[in-house]
Amino acid sequence: MGATAEINLLPKQTEAWDAWEDPEVTEVGYGGAAGGGKTRLGWYLGISISEQYPGARGVVGRKELKNLKATTLVELWEIFKELGYVNERDYTFNDNKSVLKFANGSEIMLVDTAFSPQDPEYTNLGGLPLTWAWLDESNETPEKAKSILKTRVGRMNKFWKGRVVSSVPEGTKDATEIKPFWLETFNPNKGHVHRDYYKPWKEGKLPKYRRFIRALPGDNPHLSKAYIENLGRADKATRERLLLGNFDFDSDPTKLMTYDAITDLENNTLLHNGKIKTLIVDVARFGGDKIVLGTFEGKELYSLGVYTYQGTDETVKKIRNESVAEAVAFSNILVDEDGIGGGVVDNMKGIKGFSGAASPLLVWDYVKLKLVPANFTNFRSQCYFKLSDYVNDHLISVKIRKFETNIEGYTKEQAISDLFEELDAIKRKDDSDGSKQAVIPKIEMKEQLGRSPDFADILMMRMYYELKEAPQDEEAYAHARPRSPVRVNKAR
């Protein structure tokens, strides 16, 4: 490459570079709109780390590898041209393996972060020892992929005598150990980037190790006026997200609940709220899921217990203790009996079991004048659609006065934040072909959230009692049947 290459940073990119040089900062989120210099920042940092630390290994990830190569990688070739890099002299690129190698031995790997049913645990990412990583368009990457990849950063961060080493001999003075570095670049989104970066930044609650730099089109003087004007003439959703960088704007028509209605759950005042208490329990199916106990008074969730899975006997004990403490009748205890929860139901005679896969309840058809199966694929979908009505109409509330957990560091505030994120992930499946109404499968929610929607399921299951109150006997709808014709006597 010859002489030292010079990189000219934009003001916002400089803020990100300062974060890279700050020893306390290990995670940076950059972006918020189109044209803010996200891609260039990622490559500038990747090139700098690779050249400065021979043998370093980094990863650039995006949901789809083909898009990464068609867009993100193309920008790198432009940068290399500007910096005077020559192929086969300063770097090589193996397209089949998607690996970029520098002359000093440093590598940058390109990876696909999309969810695959053949590899739900992302084992393809779990074995990578890395110095640093960058997720481009990280709002598209499933949270689980992000979490697993992040655990690999910092495994190749010791350097000695111009090479990377696993350990440094005692007494060595010329060795270098750099911090693990994690970069995410993204556009506005309501998923994990909103939760991890935008929301805590807006509230002034970002942890010291994390930094968020909001970069908008106006922060990039190199953007053409025509480009910005085109964004200004785009549809409202594009304008709000890519021009104004609005993280709180949501235009997804498949979402069942509006985000404003979801966040209002903590503030809703319920008129004529019943006093009957119900206890809803979602039992962990696997080691990574949680056991959640939610106690309601009427339609207000006021008590929440969150636990790691500890076996059927311990779960039964916790349910019994909560039912005694909060005076909940066994007939008003509902447990998800799909999977492990079935054992809990069997061990507690008198409580009710919930099966989301069951057929939907009957509803009265005012045209056919008879009870007919509801137009849902299963009972879970019926309950979620009912919940969406209650949330959007402000007929249910979440005001946690009692909170208990055995998860270290887990707080009531985090639980409520998780609940809101889960409710925001509930979407309807496409039924434009006339098929029955349904919400997306739980596996899709887990892919998006990186966890099971346990808290949302508690509110969904509470709808069991609202739906069960509707009579399932046709005689109850006798008032809806047409009466005998009325004789009209006209005056002559």
Q: What is the pLDDT along the chain (492 residues), one digit of tens a residue?
A: 555 668 889 889 999 999 999 999 999 999 877 777 899 999 999 999 999 999 999 999 999 999 999 999 999 999 999 999 999 999 999 999 999 999 999 999 999 998 887 887 888 887 889 999 999 999 889 888 898 999 999 888 888 767 777 776 676 777 788 899 999 999 888 788 888 999 899 999 999 999 999 988 777 777 777 877 777 777 776 776 777 677 777 767 888 998 889 999 999 999 888 889 999 999 876 545 689 999 999 999 999 999 987 788 888 999 999 999 999 999 999 999 876 667 788 888 899 999 999 999 887 777 777 788 888 999 999 999 999 999 999 999 999 999 999 998 889 988 998 999 899 989 998 776 677 899 999 888 887 787 889 999 999 999 999 988 655 555 554 554 555 555 666 666
Structure confidence at residue 473 (pLDDT): 58
Count how many Cα atoms sit within 13 Å of the Cα of residue 471 in the half-sphere of its side chain: 10
Q: At what angle do helices 38-52 and 11-21 cross, to 10 degrees?
A: 40
Structure confidence at residue 286 (pLDDT): 52
Answer yes or no: same fold for 11-165+177-243 and 259-475: no
Structure confidence at residue 455 (pLDDT): 96
Q: Which of 32, 34, 37 is nearest to 12 (CA)?
A: 37
Structure confidence at residue 80 (pLDDT): 95
Structure confidence at residue 91 (pLDDT): 96
| Structure confidence by residue, pLDDT tens digits, 241-277 | 777 677 777 767 888 998 889 999 999 999 888 889 9
Task: Note whether 335 and 352 are within 8 A (CB).
Answer: yes
Domain edges within the chain: 11-165+177-243, 259-475
Q: Write down the pTM of the prediction.
A: 0.70
Burial class of residue 115 in the structure, from the number of CB atoms within 10 Å of its CB (0-12 exposed, 13-18 middle, 19+ buried):
middle
Structure confidence at residue 155 (pLDDT): 83
Q: How distant, in Å, are the alpha carbons of 320, 346, 402, 420 from that of 406? A: 17, 25, 14, 21
Q: Which of 103, 114, 111, 104 is nearest to 128 (CA)?
A: 111
Task: Note whether 386 and 463 are within 8 A (CB).
Answer: yes
Structure confidence at residue 69 (pLDDT): 95
Place domain 11-165+177-243 in its CATH homologous superfamily: P-loop containing nucleotide triphosphate hydrolases (3.40.50.300)
Structure confidence at residue 345 (pLDDT): 87
Strand, helix or coil for residue 100:
strand
Structure confidence at residue 481 (pLDDT): 52
Distance between CA atoms of residues 252 and 448, nearest Å:
15
| Structure confidence by residue, pLDDT tens digits, 418-430 | 999 899 989 998 7
Distance between CA atoms of residues 391 and 258, nearest Å:
8
Residues whose CB falls within 8 Å of the CB of residue 406, separated by 6 or more in sequence, listed in order: 307, 308
Residues whose CB falls within 8 Å of the CB of residue 320, separated by 6 or more in sequence, listed in order: 348
CATH class of 259-475: alpha beta
